[in-house]
Structure 1
């Protein structure tokens, strides 16, 4: 079960497109991860000022684990808001909470656990101090 405690750092609105739905007219489950990934780029801009800030410092984030709980169905042309929150900052990992709402209704909640890796070898590594400081500031 997902247990999110923190407020979103970023809220990204989107409208469900026809090709994102299955034959029942419901958003295909994998597209919720695509929505979270799209919001992650907004997250980078809000927290770090740009999408390339962390890679310019020789580190990157890769998804190591995902846990999603589908609460309601979203459909073609629904207006959704994807919220991402910082749930935990570890030594070499980062837990990002995902909440997707349609108005006040929770459609999905979940978490992505990211691992910091060096860009050259893709091995786990702690983020640089300035990166961690910006995350700490965004989380408070």
Structure 2
């Protein structure tokens, strides 16, 4: 069983809003960075997937905000792969500062042909690399 991939990033001042917490829209940006690093860790550089004729698009995103991360916090983003379908996958990210839950959610990606953006079945080697 694979361990859950966790990406750590430090909150920058420009990512905070007037209340002094991370602006809510930045969490999807943080997630995007974390999913790229998950890919690099489990499969290889993202460009390699494009070169093979695959890409990922977000089909659905849901986030639940619990607390606010602040400037200079170290934000850990756990990236458990919850479901692997034929053409899609679901990741349930968990954002924490230390033990404090900041946000969590569910993001569904669909594998597509990068030229036509039509759905494609997930390659078996990707399924194996992402399975836990």
| TM-score range relative to shorter protein | over 0.9
Scaled by the length of structure 2, what TM-score is found?
A: 0.92
| 1:59 and 2:43 aligned | no
Query: Aligned residue for 1:24?
Result: 19
Secondary structure at 2:80's aligned position in 1? strand
Query: Aligned residue for 1:133?
Result: 128
Q: Distance in 1 between matches of 2:53 and 2:21?
A: 40
Secondary structure at 2:104's aligned position in 1? strand
1:37 positional shift: 0.5
Give unmatched runs, 5+ long, in structure 1: 1-6
Once superposed, what is the RMSD of the aligned Cα atoms?
Answer: 1.7
Q: Distance in 1 between matches of 2:65 and 2:123?
A: 35
| Aligned residue pair count | 132
Secondary structure at 1:122's aligned position in 2? coil
| 1:86 and 2:89 aligned | no
Change (3 A) 1:8 1:26: farther
Q: Distance in 2 between matches of 1:56 and 1:85?
A: 25
Secondary structure at 2:72's aligned position in 1? coil
Scaled by the length of structure 1, what TM-score is found?
A: 0.87
> Residues 99-122 of structure 1: CA distance to partner in whole angstroms, max 9, x if unpaired?
111101111101110011011200
> Residues 60-118 of structure 1: CA distance to partner in whole angstroms, max 9, x if unpaired?
11001001000111111111111111000011111011111110111110111001101
Give unmatched runs, 5+ long, in structure 2: none
Secondary structure at 1:54's aligned position in 2? helix
